[in-house]
Amino acid sequence: MRISAIGDVLKVWVWAVGSLVVGLWLTPVAYNGGKALSELSATKDFSGVVNKLAAWSGAARLEDFFKVCWPVAALVSLFPLIEWLRLGGGGAVKGSWSVRLPHMASHGNGEGQAIRPNRWGPLQGLVGFLMTFGAFVLIGYMMVRAGAFRWEADGAAWQRDLVFDIGWTLALAAVVEIFFRCVVLGIFLRAMRTAMAIGLAALMFGGIRFILGGFGNAEAFDGETLSAVHLTGVVFGGGDFVGRVVTVLIPWFAFGCVLGWARWRTASVWLPGGLLMGWLLAERIFSKAAHPVEVADRVAGYLFSGSVQAGIIPLIGVLAMGGLVHLFTHGSRNACH
């Protein structure tokens, strides 16, 4: 373990927390401004782009504004982060896949684990996709049979956007895995033991989804003027905090660990990328094909929490998926043991 590598880990966490804080502070500004623009567009005629922005702002929720503000804050601060990581790192490694990535993300240099060429990568990605997509569609079907969900009246609703959903989840999975499993986990593996590195990267991964879930508590304030301090308190402290930890944070943390384990066992991101794409696509399709049924029982709410990605039942599916990944990658020639 190197002191400089630990410094790299701290830099990543500073960037993550800093971009989150900026995103939370920008969200009320964008929300209030967007709603004002929407009201103004009802009485005045603007250009086509402004009218489209006003229409989107009028229909958008707080969560939608945050999904724009946080990535913008993270992207703008990513370039300073890369330069910060380069300090003392010897520059970026020259290679076809590692263009523009920090040195420590793409090269082990005697520590950690480098991403390696993997001729079986596309096949592993396909297998990973089929495993998670099939498993969580099956879990969704079981939830319908158990009465936790009800099929939508328009049974073909999910089919209309299928091509777009496939493209969207493919792009999102690629971006997420390059960042979390290539860059973040690559840095963490250089500074600490494998289990801790995978766990911390998974905590960051699950924490993002946990925060997004908190915006459900803030929807009650739609139509009011919001402040950043108020919004932060609602997102982190509102609603059933323990329930969100059990049904959202823990399943996503566990799935992040599975993705990290798949990356470490194969020394590539093909398998975790396929796993994530199947997980995301199953959720998008199922959310359009069925809708949750309100349950009064608190325990039942923990078992099924309105999504094939949230709740104890999906958590069991994630743990089973981890076992399958372990068996599938057993004896992988790229794995570091």
Share of the chain above pLDDT 90, in %: 22
Q: Which residues contact 124 (CB under 8 A, 6 or more apart)?
A: 118, 266, 268, 270, 271, 274, 328
Q: Which residues contact 179 (CB under 8 A, 6 or more apart)?
A: none
User: What is the dihedral sign for C-alpha 87, 90, 91, 92?
Assistant: negative
Q: For the chain, what is the mean pLDDT?
A: 79
C-alpha R_g of the chain? 21
Q: Which two tokens stand for residue 260?
A: 């990290």
Residue with the larger pLDDT of the pair 316 and 288: 316
Residue with the larger pLDDT of the pair 108 and 224: 224
User: What is the dihedral sign for C-alpha 112, 118, 122, 125?
Assistant: negative
Residues 111 and 190: beta-carbon distance below 8 Å: yes
Report the C-alpha gap between 214 and 80 in whole angstroms: 29
Question: What are the distances in angstroms from CA 259 to CA 140, 145, 186, 205, 322?
Answer: 21, 29, 13, 10, 8
Q: Is residue 334 part of a domain?
A: no
Q: Is residue 333 part of a domain?
A: no
Q: Tell whether the model's pLDDT for residue 105 goes beyond 70.
A: no
Phi, psi of 311 (to 5 degrees): 120, 170
Q: Tell whether the model's pLDDT for residue 162 goes beyond 90.
A: no
Report the C-alpha gap between 8 and 31 in whole angstroms: 34
Q: Is residue 336 part of a domain?
A: no
Q: Which residues contact 146 (CB under 8 A, 6 or more apart)?
A: 304
Q: Where residue 226 falls among pLDDT bands split at 50, 70, 90? A: low
Lowest-confidence range among 4-8, 61-65, 138-142, 256-260? 4-8
Tell me which residue range forms the domain holding 67: 3-328
Q: Is residue 38 part of a domain?
A: yes
Beta-ladder partners of 98? none
Lowest-confidence range among 37-41, 104-108, 210-214? 104-108
What distance lies between CA 262 and its chain's CA centroid?
A: 16
Q: Tell whether the model's pLDDT for residue 254 goes beyond 90.
A: yes
Q: Is residue 138 part of a domain?
A: yes
How many CA atoms, within 13 angstroms, populate the side-chain half-sphere of residue 283? 15
Q: Is residue 255 part of a domain?
A: yes
Q: Is residue 337 part of a domain?
A: no
Q: Is residue 335 part of a domain?
A: no
Question: How is residue 114 annotated by DSSP?
Answer: -
Burial code (b: 16+ CB inside 10 Å, e: under 16) for 182-217 equals: bbbbbbbbbbbebeebbbbbbebbbbbbbbebbbbb
**How many domains does the chain divide into?**
1
Question: What is the model's pLDDT at position 213?
Answer: 72
- What is the pTM (predicted TM-score) of this model? 0.79
Count of helices and strands (H, E) across the chain: 16, 2
Q: How much helix, strand and coil, in percent to the nearest 5, is found in the chain?
A: 75, 0, 25
